[in-house]
Structure 1
């Protein structure tokens, strides 16, 4: 779930029409931003102070964040830390440049919310780079994908969180031949799917995205799934996905079209084989 938060964080800096309310929803009230001294911007203490420090700060700039890696560690029942390395690029009237950066994140989980919130972000400049600017329009789509998967891996009490992720004319084409479009049908699919397993994990590979001028995104990707049934049986499967996501300016893109086909069917396995399957499909 940390990846869903991180990609949403990146997306704020990369869009021209920045939604400060949406960015604020990622943060605790006592959020702290520790900036590198070389950046020339002061640290911020408190969500309001952080958001105010950004107003007008990136006017005219195009920013891009390209994730290299993330390591997440649990530090308590509702807290975690994450170390993130990424390539940052900016282009515009204020600055042109690129650098390898590091985030040290602290996150806290409110039991009433699905995603954790950031309580502290410390940024470091690891190395200056010489690189042409490359837009990172995929981050908003990646935020959607990881949030969608988080709802399958750590299910909500009901399907209601899916409602804000679905376009009004959504079509979901399942591998068994069914096509779902009404929210009630999709809610029933969700409830059945998450109730079949005790543990569910996905590894994404072969992620490709095409952005359309009208704001839609076309995604193709493969999921390597590992899980454990209610009866305690380890299982694996692989699926191929084609999604179309619609830009509406809301928290998340909306799912317009969803197609899934089976590469490898659900198969009983051992814990050792499931681990091998997991490692073989690591990106």
Structure 2
């Protein structure tokens, strides 16, 4: 079972902007995956980048898709890369763009004769395009901020892949548009989803659409604090995921609600797709939904 979550007091605006934070985190986790798994094609990477995207890193500067694609093609395919996210903050700017600041521990096998490990800082901007559920990166600066003491290389692809799925799912739940359509690409062909012991089992997209139109849309604003995400490999490409959520919602009358749940998911992964897919969900209520008086 995932560890409990300590949730600090937040403002109504932070709750309202939570889906933007999840969107930015989703895209950052997808950025990492391209460098961690050779089966993630360049098309998936370009999907998260604005056409005029510019990146500056210790390797140099590239602007636009063509320059970026040429730059990353120079990296040896034998390198192994890992990205362990440590901190991240997201600011929603007045013009609707997002500013992201993050720090990671980057590790590499192949760059030198021994393990390379460094703390790296990321400063990036993202912008929504018309009709897109997720924003695209418009700029990124990657800066070394110090050495990191690692004794061994730890492959982070699966962790980041599953974390991106969980974060994107929550983004869709929190998004004020409450559109069920984007869920289609993250659902397995056969579903076995129950959000409560007493609830019905969802076995199709239509069930998810009804869930979005019903319970998900019952409150106009919600926020989920995502706890530690752990996983067990069931077989290659299939994983059991455990994660806890601290949930907050704002009712139409302005009163807040809270709850705490633990989720167990079965997830399948085809690296050439944009996201892994949810096959099964079971939910345990740790603290029931309640109004904050």
Give distance in 2, aligned partners of 1:180 and 1:259: 11
List structure 1 runs of 4+ shifted beyond 6 angstroms.
none
1:2-32 deviation digits (Å, cap 9, x = unpaired): 1101111111111121310110010111100
- Counterpart of 2:280 in structure 1 is 257
Give distance in 1, aligned partners of 2:123 and 2:56: 10
Alignment of 1:63-78 (within 5 A): 63-78=81-96
2:163 aligned to which of 108, 131, 142: 142
How far 1:93 moved relative to its partner?
A: 6.5
1:204 aligned to which of 198, 222, 226: 226
- Counterpart of 1:187 in structure 2 is 209
- Counterpart of 1:267 in structure 2 is 290
1:174-219 deviation digits (Å, cap 9, x = unpaired): 2133211021112101111232011100011242112344211211
> Bigger shift: 134-143 or 90-99?
90-99
> Bigger shift: 18-27 or 46-55?
46-55
- Counterpart of 2:18 in structure 1 is none
What are structure 1's unaligned runs of at least 5 residues?
271-283
Give distance in 2, aligned partners of 1:74 and 1:182: 35
Query: Over the residues paired in the alignment, what is the CA RMSD in angstroms?
Result: 1.6
**Structure 2 length normalisation: TM-score?**
0.86
- Counterpart of 1:273 in structure 2 is none
SS in 2 for 1:130: coil
Aligned residue pairs total: 266
How far 1:252 moved relative to its partner?
A: 0.3
Give distance in 1, aligned partners of 2:76 and 2:221: 42
- Counterpart of 1:222 in structure 2 is 244
1:232-253 deviation digits (Å, cap 9, x = unpaired): 3210011110001101231000
Contact 1:204/1:222 (<8 A) preserved = yes
SS in 1 for 2:229: strand
How far 1:221 moved relative to its partner?
A: 1.1
Alignment of 1:9-158 (within 5 A): 9-36=31-58, 41-92=59-110, 96-131=115-150, 132-136=152-156, 137-156=158-177, 158=179
Give distance in 2, aligned partners of 1:18 and 1:164: 16
SS in 2 for 1:241: strand
1:39-88 deviation digits (Å, cap 9, x = unpaired): xx221011221122112514111111001101111222321211110000
SS in 1 for 2:101: strand
- Counterpart of 1:163 in structure 2 is 184
